[in-house]
Amino acid sequence: MSHTNPWSNPSTVGATEAAKMAAFLEENARLPDQSQVNAMLRDVLAPAPGERLLEIGCGSGALCRLMVPSIVPGGHMTGLDISPDMVALARRYAADTGTADSIAFDTGLAETLPYANASFDGAFAARLMLHVNQPDVVLREMMRVARPGGRIVLMDWDWETVAVDHPDRELTRRLMHWRADHHGGNNWSGRQLWGRMAAAGLQDLTVTPVVAVAHDEHSSLTQSLWRAAEVSREGGALTPDEHDAWTSELKVRIAAGRFFASIVYFIVRGCRSQWV
């Protein structure tokens, strides 16, 4: 279904591209819609002083750094990523922000975590499950390395929850469907997290949907829409004229202060049984 997806391993596209992807993650984490989503993820995870927490697919480490103030004193974060380039950059960002003492970054596979059973009080993965081929294997590994009763939190967007206020419904639907089916991994991952975690036997499941809303250029979603239009044109779903017409209309709306788009992120939390 999806084309080559560099987010499955940024190091496969080379160190320079991986550095651009890390910079993209850092920039995104500063945008208001992503700050809102990330803050909600932290609230759902509820990190506490002294805890040992693990992030799988940590990228540039923005979320690991976000958790640090909540786990000190005495706590420790571990971030793991498949890409050695990402891990090196995550270490550098942590050093630049004074959080390096509280975070260890490891290169490794989410499918075969290099940690002993029950090593962590909680494990989370954000914007990862949509990019892996075996999400159930990853989830089982997260459960294995969490202590009995430990928390597991997963978060993904669901691209087919995107709502864009655009007058051309047919063109908008065509673009959105093409983007959802052909770009950036499994774009239904968000809606699948709950069932996946229930099937894995996690307990006390909660789901927190977060609606990220964009009204201008300064949101991650708006940037994703430009990219969606571009890849849909490249993929042949839109003609160049249709691409230009669709994006021009949105730019007019942005300039006039009447642009609206939204997307839902699903944050699902569960606990590993006390008795396994």
Ligand X SMILES: C[S@@+](CC[C@H](N)C(=O)[O-])C[C@H]1O[C@@H](n2cnc3c(N)ncnc32)[C@H](O)[C@@H]1O
Contact window for ligand X (CB under 6 A) among 69-77, 103-111, 115-123, 201-209: 103-111
Given 53, 82, 123, 228, the residue binding ligand X (CB under 6 A): 82
* Closer to ligand X by Cβ: residue 57 or 270: 57
Rounded to a whole number of angstroms, the minimum distance from the CB of residue 240 to ligand X is 29
Rounded to a whole number of angstroms, the minimum distance from the CB of residue 2 to ligand X is 13
* Closer to ligand X by Cβ: residue 93 or 246: 93
Given 45, 54, 86, 250, the residue binding ligand X (CB under 6 A): 86
Rounded to a whole number of angstroms, the minimum distance from the CB of residue 35 to ligand X is 12
Query: For residue 56, which phi and psi values (nearest 5 degrees)?
Result: -95, 135
CB 90 within 8 Å of CB 61: yes
CA pair distance 152, 203, nearest whole angstrom: 10
CB 113 within 8 Å of CB 82: no
Question: Is residue 51 involved in binding ligand X (CB under 6 A)?
Answer: no
Q: Which two tokens stand for residue 262?
A: 């939204």
Question: Is residue 40 involved in binding ligand X (CB under 6 A)?
Answer: no
CA pair distance 64, 72, nearest whole angstrom: 13
Q: Which residue is nearest to ligand X (CB)?
A: 59
Contact window for ligand X (CB under 6 A) among 98-106, 107-115, 219-227, 230-238: 107-115
Rounded to a whole number of angstroms, the minimum distance from the CB of residue 77 to ligand X is 12
Residues 6+ apart with CB under 8 A from 42: 63, 66, 67, 70
Contact window for ligand X (CB under 6 A) among 5-13, 97-105, 236-244, 246-254: 5-13
- Angle, CA of 60, 65 and 71, to the nearest 5°: 145
Of 130, 186, 121, which is closest to residue 154 (Cα–Cα)?
A: 130
CB 6 within 8 Å of CB 12: yes
Contact window for ligand X (CB under 6 A) among 52-60, 190-198, 214-222, 263-271: 52-60
Residues 6+ apart with CB under 8 A from 152: 122, 123, 124, 139, 142, 143, 146, 197, 202, 269, 270, 271, 272
H or E segment to which residue 262 belongs: strand 261-271
Site string for ligand X, 9-38 (x = CB under 6 A): xx--------------x-------------
Q: Which of residues 210-269 bind ligand X (CB under 6 A)?
A: none
Footprint of ligand X (CB under 6 A): 7-10, 25, 57-59, 62-63, 81-83, 86, 109-111, 126-128, 131-132
